[in-house]
Amino acid sequence: VFEDVKKNEKFKTGKEPYRNAVTEKTCDVLIGRVPVMVKSSLCCLEKEDCDFDLGGYFIIKGSEK
Residue 46 has pLDDT above 60, yes or no: no
Lowest mean pLDDT among 8-12, 26-30, 55-59: 8-12
**40: confidence class by pLDDT, cuts 50, 70, 90:** confident
Measured CA to CA, the distance from residue 27 to residue 31 in angstroms comes to 12
What is the residue extent of each domain of the chain? 2-64
Which residues lie below 8 Å from residue 31, measured CB to CB, with a gap of 6+?
Answer: 1, 2, 3
C-alpha 56: how far from its chain's center?
A: 23
The pTM is what?
0.45
Residue 22: per-residue pLDDT: 62
